[in-house]
Amino acid sequence: MPTYDFSGKVAFVTGGGRGQGRSHAQHYAKHGADVVVTDICENIGTNPYELSTSDDLAETASLVEDEGQEALAIEMDVRDESDVEAAVDEALDEFGRIDILANNAGIFNASEATEMDEAMWDEMIDTNLKGVWLCSKHVGQHFIDRGDGGKIVTTSSTAGFVGTPANGHYVATKHGVRGLTKTLALELAEYDVNVNAVAPTGIDTPMISGYVESYGEEMLNQIAELTGPFNVFGDGGMIEAKDISEAYMWLSSDAARYVTGITLPVDAGMLAK
């Protein structure tokens, strides 16, 4: 595993209760950062599977502390600006600074666009896209006020490059993340803030297992008939959260100091098809 030095830095991770967010939090801690972990810790009405709990979030914080770093767990809804602003203020009160924003919070559900309920559309857009903007707005303002740089890394998806059946709302958010990333990179460049995104392929996380449990293997098989297996490497199945975390670490580090405005696929060759 590459060695990055985040000593003295603070990472603010959304969707940190489990899955990719937990992995990112642990990786930042392994490399010396203190970590603020946030999650909604309740379910969202149109999402068919269970989301993270307060206990999940507390476990992530404990795992950060196991790495010898300080952790602050905050229950926060990325869709609610007052929640986001309060969480950022609490993090600054606790640590005095935020150096890295990891925009990871997201949901994943399914409906064909012509049959989708408006609430499903709205809750997806609010969580996966508006939430990225709100967190970037408030942490970004801290970066501007402080004036000595920062990093924003956001989770897009291979669905940010291609369409997928029954996921039009999700696809729209992940395309939107790419555009927002480019714009924020331009707006924050004068403040020495790097803004990038990562585009994972399918990952073995509770989000994906919850999706499969809710909709069944049949839906995934139908999509595979149209698009083929997820990946070129291996058996075409899922990759691991730690593979995305490694991309997050690089983009958060000084090694990527001249990288901004990109979306980096970590897709085992999926998009090459």
The answer to whether 149 and 127 have CB atoms below 8 angstroms apart is no
Tracing tokens 């509770």 back to the chain, one arrives at: 206
What is d(CA 188, CA 160) in angstroms, rounded to the nearest whole number? 22
Query: Does 191 participate in catalysis according to the annotation?
Result: no
- Of residues 4, 28, 49, 170, which has the active-site annotation? 170
Counting every residue written for the chain, the total comes to: 273
Torsion sign over Cα 87, 6, 131, 38: negative
Question: Among 39, 253, 233, 12, which Cα is nearest to 149's?
Answer: 253
To the nearest 10°, the Cα dihedral for 225, 230, 233, 237?
A: -100
User: What tokens does 106 get?
Assistant: 């997201």
What is d(CA 130, CA 78) in angstroms, rounded to the nearest whole number? 8
What is d(CA 17, CA 40) in angstroms, rounded to the nearest whole number? 9
| Residues with catalytic roles | 170
